[in-house]
């Protein structure tokens, strides 16, 4: 029987050139020939190894591989978890989503504007005529409010109710009593979207206002607040600097 001293087992003092993993169930227990092995790596010691040393080296090698696989799997799982959670929706309308990412400060709308879906809304604080209100929206790089769905209408009405009893001009008007109601972009108003109330039979009630859950027509020269809207600007997401994050 051959014994190896601790000195001969110190791999740091030997030239490593090849590792031999021995075939399980080999009949020759004194196997040293690499032809009797099922798999080999080019990392073995130059000295011939006993079967027990060979198996011990094989076990250590496989253990290292196993540990590396576990670590790699853990890193991959962490990345996947981060990837799924890295996008945070900042909208309450599921079909139109704006995302913010970790490491960024989301600024979807300017200050004093409300965000809903892909749009920003501004409820003015100054009384103006309908025509002046239209000019104000243009000056804010936006447009007069155009309501395009029941969901958007509900949002606008809920938001308007928080402004007490304020009455707001919106971007809907007509050119005389016989003319059709048109939005500012020239598109037709769908009558099934909401009903336009008329306080009197005056023929000059050609501009539309909104107050809470009520919508009506009034003289365009009257003074009211207004509602402007514009699309969320994706470029308005401010990236946090490296120093801010460290």
Q: Which two tokens stand for residue 106?
A: 């989301």
Q: Could you give the CA distance from residue 169 to residue 134 in angstroms, rounded to a whole number?
A: 9
What are the start-end ranges of the E strands in 65-126?
88-89, 99-100, 104-106, 114-116, 119-123
Q: Could you give the CA distance from residue 241 to residue 246 in angstroms, rounded to a whole number?
A: 9
Q: Which of 38-47, 51-60, 121-130 has the highest mean pLDDT?
A: 121-130
Domain 99-231 indexed as CATH 1.10.10.10: no
pLDDT band at 167 (very low <50, low <70, confident <90, very high): very high
Answer whether 0.75 is exceeded by the pTM.
Answer: no
Q: Can you give the residue ranges of every domain in the chain?
A: 11-85, 99-231
Q: Could you give the CA distance from residue 144 to residue 183 in angstroms, rounded to a whole number?
A: 9
Whether the predicted pLDDT of 125 surpasses 90? yes
Contact between residue 106 and residue 115 where contact means Cβ atoms under 8 Å apart? no
Looking at the chain, the whole-number percentage of residues with pLDDT higher than 70 is 50
């Amino acid at each position: 029987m051959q014994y190896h001293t601790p000195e001969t087992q110190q791999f740091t003092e030997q030239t490593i050139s090849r590792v031999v993993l021995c075939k399980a169930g080999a009949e020759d227990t004194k196997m040293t020939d690499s032809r009797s092995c099922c798999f080999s790596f080019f990392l073995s010691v130059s000295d011939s190894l006993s079967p027990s040393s060979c198996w011990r080296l094989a076990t250590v090698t496989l253990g290292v591989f196993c540990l590396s696989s576990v670590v790699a799997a853990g890193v991959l799982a962490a990345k996947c978890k981060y990837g799924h959670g890295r996008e945070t929706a900042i909208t309450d309308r599921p079909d139109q989503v704006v995302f913010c990412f970790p490491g960024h400060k989301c600024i979807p709308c300017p200050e004093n504007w409300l965000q809903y879906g892909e749009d920003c809304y501004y409820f003015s604080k100054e009384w103006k005529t309908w025509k002046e209100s239209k000019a104000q929206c243009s000056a804010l790089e936006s447009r007069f409010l155009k309501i395009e769905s029941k969901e958007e209408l509900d949002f606008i009405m809920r938001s308007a109710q928080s402004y007490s009893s304020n009455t707001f001009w919106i971007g809907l008007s007509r050119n005389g009593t016989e003319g059709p109601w048109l939005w500012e972009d020239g598109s037709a108003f769908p009558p099934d979207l909401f009903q336009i109330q008329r306080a009197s039979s005056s023929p000059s009630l050609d501009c539309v206002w909104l107050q809470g859950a009520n919508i009506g027509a009034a003289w365009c020269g009257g003074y009211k607040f207004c509602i402007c809207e514009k699309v969320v600007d994706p470029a308005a997401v401010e990236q946090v600097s490296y120093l801010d994050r460290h």
